[in-house]
């Protein structure tokens, strides 16, 4: 097989003319064999097609890269808007980002969040209106639903929004708590409200907790002291122990608890050893009065924040040995007429030489009496020593 030197077509070895162009072929066989096939002009078509495809593909790739870059810039802008709490602008920026790149999954996820965030901002306004109307439970429920709606999202913007929801929830709880306290709740309700206040992380809630604890301590101390004076030691201890659940660091209750235990032991021992005692109760009181082991420093009455009458005082030990279970017996009078008498123990339970102690008692249901018209008189002070 040979090639035509003029058109490059294939010719048989024994033919004299080219069947393609019709020209006479060289007679020399070696000359025919030396003839090279020329370039076929029809190859230009596929080459041009390939070049066009490469050009279009490259241009489309560059276009996609530009679209992706613009989509990324818009996504980053949306992140900034969301961090600043402008969820409407963030939503618009994310929608534009998806117009440039519809398969941008991060932008889709972020758009779903910002759309929810826009609605949550509306819910926050609704919750504020419900709070103003006193519909605290509905307002809290709205906040809880809003938080649940973004539970599956994460990120700094999500954290900021959750913090905003948490702050609003605490604000609603605090407003609800104040409303309950204004209803003049009883001791059992106060205990419940203390736990509610404890669950609200704020300085104002801490102040409310301190106030509630003070009211609980005063109530428990007064009632437990009454039970102690009536020798109801077990009931007094139970009441004090219950009060310590709500005010575990109360010095008044801790001291009263110690006093009750010692008084219970002393009472039971005195009952068992009554025959062996050489001195009667009257003789003991006389001896103690003669010793003057306790000096009254001050005593006064005042009206506390709850409108109840509070008796406070201070004593000093002038004894040479430790004394304990110091009992103050006092009376309240108005216009030289005795209103009531009462006993109260000082705290701490034990006083060492030259040490001072305090006593305090709150009287309830005395609204008709004005503190300025009430006079207090300490009638008797009793105590025990280790030798008693």
The CATH number of whichever domain residue 299 belongs to comes to 2.60.40.10
pLDDT at 276: 64
Q: Do 158 and 54 sit in the same domain of this protein?
A: yes
Is position 283 within any domain? no
State the chain's mean pLDDT as an integer: 81
pLDDT at 118: 86
Q: Do 148 and 60 sit in the same domain of this protein?
A: yes
Share of the chain above pLDDT 90, in %: 31
Confidence of residue 64 (pLDDT cuts 50, 70, 90): very low
Q: Do 203 and 262 sit in the same domain of this protein?
A: yes
pLDDT at 284: 58
Is position 332 within any domain? yes
Q: Do 145 and 166 sit in the same domain of this protein?
A: yes
304 three-state secondary structure: coil
Q: Which of 4-13, 47-56, 112-121, 333-342 is least confident?
A: 47-56
Residue range 74-84: average pLDDT? Answer: 77
Is position 278 within any domain? no
CA-to-CA distance for 193 and 181, rounded, in angstroms?
8
Q: Do 28 and 63 sit in the same domain of this protein?
A: no
pLDDT at 110: 78
pLDDT at 309: 87
CA-to-CA distance for 209 and 19, rounded, in angstroms?
113
Residue range 318-337: average pLDDT? Answer: 87
Confidence of residue 47 (pLDDT cuts 50, 70, 90): low
Is position 280 within any domain? no
Q: Do 200 and 317 sit in the same domain of this protein?
A: no
Per-residue pLDDT for 34 more than 70? no
Confidence of residue 384 (pLDDT cuts 50, 70, 90): confident
pLDDT at 341: 92
Domain residues for 328?
290-385
Q: Do 73 and 167 sit in the same domain of this protein?
A: yes
pLDDT at 5: 66
pLDDT at 30: 47
pLDDT at 61: 45
Q: Do 163 and 233 sit in the same domain of this protein?
A: no
Is position 302 within any domain? yes
Domain boundary pick from 272, 301, 322: 272
Share of the chain above pLDDT 70, in %: 76
Is position 284 within any domain? no
Per-residue pLDDT for 138 more than 70? yes
Q: Do 166 and 213 sit in the same domain of this protein?
A: no
Is position 282 within any domain? no
pLDDT at 42: 57
Is position 281 within any domain? no
Q: Do 17 and 55 sit in the same domain of this protein?
A: no
DSSP string, 35-76: PPPPPPGGGHHHHHHHHHHHHHHHHHHHHHHHHHHHHHHHHH
Does 348 sit behind a cis peptide bond, omega within 30 degrees of 0 on the bond before it? yes
Higher per-residue pLDDT: 336 or 281: 336
The per-residue pLDDT for range 253-308, each reduced to its tens digit, is 999 999 999 999 988 888 787 656 655 555 655 565 557 788 999 999 888 888 88
Q: Do 10 and 55 sit in the same domain of this protein?
A: no
Q: Compute the C-alpha angle 309/312/316, nearest 5°.
A: 165
CA-to-CA distance for 85 and 353, rounded, in angstroms?
66
pLDDT at 372: 72
Per-residue pLDDT for 380 more than 80? yes
CA-to-CA distance for 114 and 35, rounded, in angstroms?
76
Domain boundary pick from 181, 199, 214: 181
Residue range 203-222: average pLDDT? Answer: 91
Domain boundary pick from 154, 181, 208: 181
- Predicted structure pTM score: 0.51
How is residue 42 written in tokens?
A: 């029809």
Q: Do 177 and 197 sit in the same domain of this protein?
A: no
How is residue 306 written in tokens?
A: 């709850």
> What's the total number of domains in the chain?
4
């Amino acid at each position: 097989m040979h090639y035509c030197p003029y058109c490059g077509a294939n010719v048989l070895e024994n033919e004299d003319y080219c069947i393609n162009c019709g020209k006479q072929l060289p007679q020399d066989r070696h000359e025919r064999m030396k003839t090279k096939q020329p370039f076929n002009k029809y190859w230009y078509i596929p080459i041009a097609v390939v070049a066009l495809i490469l050009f279009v593909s490259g241009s489309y790739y560059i276009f996609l890269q530009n679209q992706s870059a613009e989509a990324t810039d818009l996504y980053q802008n949306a992140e900034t808007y969301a961090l600043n709490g402008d969820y409407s602008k963030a939503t618009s920026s994310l929608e534009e980002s998806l117009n440039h790149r519809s398969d941008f999954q991060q932008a889709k996820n972020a758009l779903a969040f910002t759309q929810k965030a826009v609605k949550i901002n509306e819910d926050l306004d609704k919750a504020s209106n419900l709070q103003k109307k006193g519909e605290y439970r509905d307002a809290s429920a709205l906040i809880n639903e809003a938080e649940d709606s973004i539970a599956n999202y994460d990120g700094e913007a999500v954290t900021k929004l959750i913090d905003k929801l948490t702050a609003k929830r605490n604000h609603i709880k605090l407003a609800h708590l104040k409303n309950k306290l204004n209803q003049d709740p009883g001791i059992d309700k106060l205990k419940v409200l203390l736990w509610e206040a404890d669950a609200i992380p704020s300085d104002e809630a801490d102040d409310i907790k301190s106030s509630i604890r003070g009211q609980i301590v005063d109530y428990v101390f007064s009632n437990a002291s009454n039970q102690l004076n009536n020798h109801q030691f077990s009931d007094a201890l139970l009441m004090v122990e219950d009060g310590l659940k709500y005010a575990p660091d109360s010095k008044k209750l801790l001291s009263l608890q110690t006093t009750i235990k010692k008084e219970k032991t002393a009472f039971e021992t005195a009952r068992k050893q009554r025959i062996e005692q050489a001195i009667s109760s009257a003789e003991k009181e006389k001896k103690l009065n003669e010793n003057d082991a306790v000096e009254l420093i001050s005593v006064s009455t005042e009206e506390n924040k709850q409108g109840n009458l509070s008796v406070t005082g201070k004593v000093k030990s002038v004894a040479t040995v430790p004394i304990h279970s110091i009992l103050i017996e006092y009376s309240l009078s108005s216009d030289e007429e005795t209103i009531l008498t009462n006993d109260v123990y000082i705290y701490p339970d034990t006083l060492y030489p030259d040490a001072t102690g305090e006593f305090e008692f709150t009287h309830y249901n005395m609204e008709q009496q004005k503190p300025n018209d009430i006079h207090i008189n300490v009638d008797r002070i009793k105590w025990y020593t280790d030798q008693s």
